[in-house]
Every structure is written in C-alpha cells, then in structure tokens.
Structure 1
Amino acid sequence: MPTVETALGPVDTADLGFTLSHEHIISGDLAVRHNWPHVIDVEKEIVDARARLDEVWDLGVRTMVDLTTVDLGRDASIIRRVAEGTKMQIIVATGVHRRPPRYFERRVPEPVVELFVMDIEQGIADSGVKAGCIKLATEEEVDPLNELMLRAGALTHRATGVPIMTHSNPFHGTGRDQQDVFEAEGVDLTRVVIGHSGDTDDLDYLMSVMDRGSTIGMDRYGTRIGADTEKRTDVIAELCRRGYADRMVVSHDAGSFSLNVPRHVRDTRFPEWNYLTIPTKVIPGLRDRGVPEDQIEEITTHNLRRIFEQQGAY
C-alpha cells in the first residue's frame, strides 16, 4: 500500500480521506518571531490550532496539507506538536513561496534542490518531520528568479516523486506558465496541482490547465480575492457537468494563526475564511447544484489521493 509522509510519520494513502489541499496552520516571519518572541504565544496557539483542527475533523475532514514554506515561517517542530494533540493528519511541505531567502538566490538550482530533497528524505531540521509535497509559487509573472525556483522544485520532484502543489495567479495565467517550466524539466503534469485556480471563473482558462493533465486547486474559499463563495461553487458545479470532476481539489488557504493577518481582522473582514466553509457551505452547495455524491467524493477525497499515489523518481 502506498504511503505519504505526515507530521507524525507515514500513513497509508487509503487512509487520507477527505483532504483539504492547501491550508496553513501557524505562519509568519520567523525572523520576527525569533527576535521578538512575545508577538506569539506559541503554547496558546498550539492549543487553539488543535481545537480548530478537531472541529473540522468532526465535520468529516481527515487530512490537511499545510503549504507553509520556509519563507512563510514554516516551523515543523510546532506542527508536529500540533499533530500530536489532534486527530487530523497533517502533510507538511518543502519548497518556497513568493519571496525566497536571499541564500537561495545565489545557489540555484542544485544547492537548493539538495535542501528540498533533504526535507523529503531525511526530515526538516531536527523536527523528525519529513515533507510530503513541494510548494512553489508564481504571482504576476515568471521572472528569472522565479523560474529558477520553479526549476529547483521540478528537479526535486523528479528526484523524489513527491507531488508539486503551487500558488498561481489565474488572472495573469501563471498556472499555465508554471506548467511550461515544469514540462521543460520533464515533469509529468498529472502529478501537479495548480493552486488558486478557483479565484477566476474563466472556464476556458481552467479547462486549458486541466487539459494538460494537471489538477486545479479551487482552494481559496473565504477570501475576497476574485470570485466569492457562491461563484466559486458555481464554477466547480459547471466543470463537473463538463466532465472535469476528476481534476479538482478544494481548500481555503486559511490558517489558525498568522503574524501577517491578525485574527480579529480575519474574523471581522473575512468571516468565511476558515477551515469550516467547505464542509459546512460548499459541499451542501454542490449538492444543491445537482453535483452527484460520487463526483463530490472525487473532489474531496480521491483526486488528491491519486496524486499522492503517483510515486517514485523518474
């Protein structure tokens, strides 16, 4: 049986269940936290995160992919502690977001690939946690530095077989640009999730990404970036009707704690931006739109499991 690494070690892919594909648990600038530790009460946030994860577990979610990278404040030791006190299975990422450390800029791609591979094969620092996926990000364009980061991630994928999961900007078409770079490095695009695709309701764009083999992340429910909750759900339902239920995954890109967005701001300005919106609103909304249960199960469970089961270097 294939397995995937989580914060508490490998689990059978058959046990992943309903999976949120693109979330964060505790994030923020590590340099700020290390220099001014009072800005976060780590013990309190660990307890709060466990409670939030258990709440969504009670609604049927079994696994969460935490795509917090080093430049977003990844701390695998904290995530391991969260995981030790919750029922939720947490998959942790290596890779890089939009602001790679300057250390990377002069050492790409091979030395950066070595670091990413180390996270996957040996574990992240002294946390005992191995990364189970590779996070990469592109915003408005693939500039030279971003291309090097994408190539480093692609080479890491080829060396380890763990899937690539991205941040993209569909309004600038950068999901397709990412696919171009990955394809040039020999990546099998069926092993890639192009994230944040659901920000747009441009069906032609979304289908063009999926027609190349990739799965799209309908994964920013609750934000005010692009389409609102109802429109995002309309788009998923229409794509299901067009035969694309096997190439979508869902999530919120939310977090339990972030140094970047204070909790009171999230709670007041973005009341749906949390881990609960998909199980409590989106799944019922898909049913109301006539999406059959087997297609809902594909989107929530089978599609990401299939990607994690495509294993091995190549």
Structure 2
Amino acid sequence: MVDTVQSVTGPLLPDQLGVTLPHEHVFINMTRTTPQDGYLNVWSDTEPELRRFTAAGGSTLIDMTNGELSDYAAPVGWSDDLRVMQQNPDTGSRSIANVLATKAMAEATGVQVILGTGHYYDTYLDKRWFDRNSTNKIAEYLVADLLDEIPGTGVRAGIIGEIASDLSHITAVEERSFRAAARAGRETGAMISTHAASFPTGLAQLEIMVEEGVDPARVVIGHSDTVKSVDYSLELLRRGAFVQFDCLMTCRIGGELIMHQIDRRLSYLKTMIDKGYQDQILLSQDVCQRSHLRALGGPGYTFLFEEFRTLAGQAGIEPELLDRIHTVNPRRAIFGE
C-alpha cells in the first residue's frame, strides 16, 4: 500500500480521489502513427472538455502521456526552446512543456491530474537510447520521476504508465521497458498501467512483471476491451490484475453511438461482474485524438457518465456498481488497498 499519490498540484489521500478516470490524456502527440488526428495541443479545445468532466461530478484524471508521447505535446507557442518542448534526451522523461502545461490546465479547471511515467511501444522508442541504458538505469530514471521530480518541472509522476506493447508479441526493446517499469514499481509501490491493444499480450506483459517480483494486484492491463474475447479478460482477472476497459472512444464517433462496440463491452462487463470480479474492473475513454473530443462528436471525458451509464443500466448493470467502479476501484488500484 501507498499512503498518498502525487498529482500535478500536490499529494492526494485516498478519500480525495473522488470520481476518477484511470486512463486519459490532456496533451499528447501521436502524429507518428496518427498524423491527421493524433495531436491534442489546443488549450481552447481541452479546457471546456475538462470543465464538462467536473460538471458531471468528475474529480481526478490519470494522464497516461508517457515520455515518447510528450514530444511537442503542449499548446502551440508554449515555449520557443525546443529542449523544453521535447522528451528529455537523457532520462527519457516527459517534456518539461507537457508537464507544466498539464499542471496549468489542472489549476485552471480544478481537475486533479495524476501523471504517468514510462515508455510507449516499439514504433515510438529510441532504440539507441535503450541500447545505451541498462534496464536498471531505465528503472532508476522512472523512480526519480516518481520520488524526486520530472526533470526541470518541480512536478512528480504518480504512477507508472502507460507502458506499451502493440503487436501480437512483445519486442526486445519493449521487454526492457516492461522490466524497468516492474523494477521501479517494486521499489516505489506505484501502480503500473499498460497498453495492450487488439492482441491478448496483456498476459505476457503480466508474466514479465510477475517474474520481476511485482504483485499482479499492482498491475492494470489497459485496452483489454479491444481484445474480442471475454475469456482473455477473465484470465487476467483470475491472475489478480485489474482489467481496464478504456477504449470507449470507439463507442461514440461523429456524434453517433456505435452500438456494436457498446453492446460487446456491456456483455463482457456483465460476464465479469456475474463471476464476481467487479472489484477489479476499471473504465475510461482514452481521449487521445482530436476526434475524441466531445465537441467534435467523440466521447470526451464524460461518455461514461452520460450515454454509457444509461445503456449499462438498461443492460442490468446497477448504477451503484458503476459508482464503485468510478471511485472505489481506482482508489484500490492506485493505493493498493
């Protein structure tokens, strides 16, 4: 267990979290793989979206923008110093601009934002940097982000993530990233949150971290809802990890509800709940592209509390249980309760 978790504006106690989105992004740069849409860097777009979240009763957001995704991930004109705008070339940490812009947004909107630290998947990784740094050294950088500061910001990360693999297998450089994250998590007690999209590689991710001595209960396997098999989610739950259905950005596109995406997720959730795993479920939207903003027809940061809540109730998932998933479960995942 950990006593407090660090947000961009200071430490939080468990009872201060409130309604929590465990996998979102405030400012992010995904243009390497999504050149037309994957760039959230407009203050005037993001601020009203976060204010809508607080108006819906939201309190806390975990920002999973890692080092690679923080390159130039700040409002246009934030700084003329390219070194401030870029991922730290020495430690691999988030860019200074990304951290300080996110802190400013939190202060402006009242949203409590917890930052992740870590590395994305193979396509984004600087292989030469990984070759120059041992696994233990990479872990040391993560620990420093958590316990000292993200260099040049005066702000500490609160959790480890999102740590990513993106194919049907984990590449060698991704494995080093996972082992470093596991060692940092073991040393600090911080929650580790992953990216495991489309393929059931969350099982391999979990195996690596367990090999490194991490308790499965400190691990959140992200994007589990993109794997079209409820048996995959059930196996992760049986092994003791949290299963995160966080790709609900696929459920509202262009202002329209995508019912086959919603219905499959609701079916899986009911199965997991019926088998008694309701305490290991996390839900989020993963806003990471401009088209995901509510104003542009996406889910924004409030889909879970609006259309999804109504449809879940119609499917037989009690509102009180959803409230626990949005409050108690994130608290258990973050603090190890």
- Which residue is equivalent to 2:120? 97
Aligned partners of 1:164 and 1:191 also within 8 Å: yes
Distance in structure 1 (CA, Å) of the matches to 2:307 and 2:126? 38
Aligned partners of 2:309 and 2:319 also within 8 Å: no
- Which residue is equivalent to 2:86? none
Residue 147 of structure 1 deviates from its aligned partner by 0.8
- Which residue is equivalent to 2:210? 183
Distance in structure 1 (CA, Å) of the matches to 2:310 and 2:30? 36
- Which residue is equivalent to 1:241? 274
Residue 29 of structure 1 deviates from its aligned partner by 6.5
Residue 267 of structure 1 deviates from its aligned partner by 6.2
Aligned partners of 1:199 and 1:232 also within 8 Å: no
Distance in structure 2 (CA, Å) of the matches to 1:297 and 1:83? 23
SS in 1 for 2:143: helix
2:87 equivalent to 1:61: no
Amino acid at match of 2:48: A
Residue 95 of structure 1 deviates from its aligned partner by 0.6
Spell out, residue by residue over 1:146-193, the C-alpha distance to the aligned partner (whole angstroms, 9 max, x if none). 111100000000111110000003x42200000110110010000110
Residue 231 of structure 1 deviates from its aligned partner by 2.0
Residue 25 of structure 1 deviates from its aligned partner by 0.7
2:172 equivalent to 1:153: no
Among 61, 67, 70, the residue aligned to 1:70: 67
Which residues in structure 2 correspond to 1:1-314 (within 5 Å)? 2-28=3-29, 45-73=42-70, 74=94, 75-98=98-121, 99-102=124-127, 103-135=129-161, 136-140=163-167, 141-169=169-197, 171-223=198-250, 228-255=261-288, 261=289, 263=290, 265-266=291-292, 271-310=297-336
Aligned partners of 2:282 and 2:326 also within 8 Å: yes
Aligned partners of 2:220 and 2:241 also within 8 Å: yes
Amino acid at match of 1:93: G
Spell out, residue by residue over 1:216-239, the C-alpha distance to the aligned partner (whole angstroms, 9 max, x if none). 110010227996123222321232
Spell out, residue by residue over 1:95-116, the C-alpha distance to the aligned partner (whole angstroms, 9 max, x if none). 1111223313331301111111
Amino acid at match of 2:29: G
SS in 1 for 2:249: coil
Residue 310 of structure 1 deviates from its aligned partner by 2.0
Distance in structure 1 (CA, Å) of the matches to 2:261 and 2:298? 10
Distance in structure 2 (CA, Å) of the matches to 1:267 and 1:20? 15
Distance 1:166 1:272, change over 3 A: same
Residue 47 of structure 1 deviates from its aligned partner by 4.2
Residue 266 of structure 1 deviates from its aligned partner by 4.8
Amino acid at match of 1:284: T
CA RMSD of aligned residues (A): 2.5
Residue 145 of structure 1 deviates from its aligned partner by 1.1
SS in 2 for 1:181: helix
Aligned partners of 1:221 and 1:272 also within 8 Å: no
Q: Could you tell me which runs of 5 or more consecutive residues in structure 1 were left unpaired when the two chains were aligned.
A: 32-39, 256-260
Query: Scaled by the length of structure 1, what TM-score is found?
Result: 0.86
Distance in structure 1 (CA, Å) of the matches to 2:171 and 2:302? 36
SS in 2 for 1:213: coil
Distance in structure 1 (CA, Å) of the matches to 2:113 and 2:99? 11
Distance 1:138 1:308, change over 3 A: same
SS in 1 for 2:157: coil
Residue 90 of structure 1 deviates from its aligned partner by 0.5
SS in 1 for 2:117: strand
Q: How many residues align?
A: 292
Amino acid at match of 1:63: T
